[in-house]
Amino acid sequence: MRVPSAKVAKFVAAAATPVAILAASALVWQSSYAAFSGTTRNSGNDWATGSVSLTDDDAGSARFQVGTMTPGQIDTKCIKVTANVSVPGVVKAYVLNPVTSPQGLENYVKITVRGGAGGDFAGCTGFVPDSTIVPGASLAQLTAYNSYGTGVGGWAVAAGTQSRTYEITWTFDTAGLTQAQIDQLQGAHTGLDLQWELQST
C-alpha cells in the first residue's frame, strides 16, 4: 500500500475530523428519532490474485557436468519446462552466476538452444524443434542475457498447464587458435546457470 507523504497525511487528517463530527451527530439523530431500521448486504465479495508456477524436470541436477572437455567436443541434452498458470504469461530464459576463467575459456564454449516438443531431462529422443532461441553464442556472450528483461525465448503460455522442451547443444570451439593458445586453456573452468522465468501478462 502506498504511504502518503507528510503533506498529504496532514490534509487527510484535517479532512477526517469534520466528517467524524457529522457521523456522530447522525448517530445521535438516529437513536433519538428512528423507530424502524433495515439493512441489506451484498456479501461474499472477494478478490484473489492469479497464480503462476514454473518447474523443470532436472530434479535439482545440473544439465551439464563436463570435467575432461577436449577441443572440438560437442554434446546435446534436453530439459523440459512446465508452466502451470491461472493467468497467461511469457516465459524467458536468461543467465545467472557466470563463472569466468583467467584463461578465457568462456569465449570458446559455444551454446545453441532450440525450443520445441518431445524429449526431456532423461534424453532428447522424440524432440521436434520449432525455433532457435540462441544460435551458437559463447558463454561470455550469453552473460548479456542476465535478467528477464534481456532474456530470450518469449514462450507465451495460456491459462492452464503446458510444457516446452529446450534442446541445449554445446561445443568446445577452438577454431582459429594456435596450438599454444589451445594449450593455455588446459585446466580452465567456466560455468553458468540457465534460468527460466514466467511473468504474467
- In angstroms, the CA 96 to CA 142 distance is 10
Q: What is the pTM of this model?
A: 0.75
pLDDT for the residue numbered 173: 93
- In angstroms, the CA 77 to CA 125 distance is 10
CB 182 within 8 A of CB 71: yes
- In angstroms, the CA 8 to CA 12 distance is 6
pLDDT for the residue numbered 7: 35
Residue 48, pLDDT > 50, answer no
* 180 against 68, higher pLDDT: 180
Q: Grid coordinates 428512528 are at which residue?
A: 34
Residues 147 and 63 in one domain: yes
Residues 150 and 194 in one domain: yes
Residue pLDDT, tens place only, 78-93: 999 999 999 899 999 9
Q: Is residue 143 part of a domain?
A: yes
Instruction: Residue 9: give the domain boundaries.
Output: 1-33
CB 189 within 8 A of CB 130: no
Q: How many domains does the chain have?
A: 2
Let me know the angle formed at the C-alpha of 199 by 198 and 201, rounded to the nearest 5 degrees.
130
Residue pLDDT, tens place only, 118-153: 999 999 999 999 999 999 999 999 999 999 999 999
Residue 44, pLDDT > 90, answer no
Q: CA nearest 93: which of 54, 64, 127, 121?
A: 54
The three cell numbers locating residue 58 = 532436472
Residues 6+ away with beta carbon under 8 Å from 155: 83, 90, 91, 92, 115, 164
* 62 against 144, higher pLDDT: 144
Look at phi and psi of residue 196 and say left if phi exceeds 0, alpha if psi is from -120 to 50, else beta. Answer: beta
Residues 58 and 29 in one domain: no
Q: Is residue 41 part of a domain?
A: no
Residues 27 and 67 in one domain: no
Q: Is residue 46 part of a domain?
A: no
125 φ, ψ (degrees, to nearest 5):
-60, 125
Residues 89 and 186 in one domain: yes
- Indicate the range of 30-39, 81-90, 96-105, 154-163 predicted with least confidence: 30-39
Q: Is residue 74 part of a domain?
A: yes
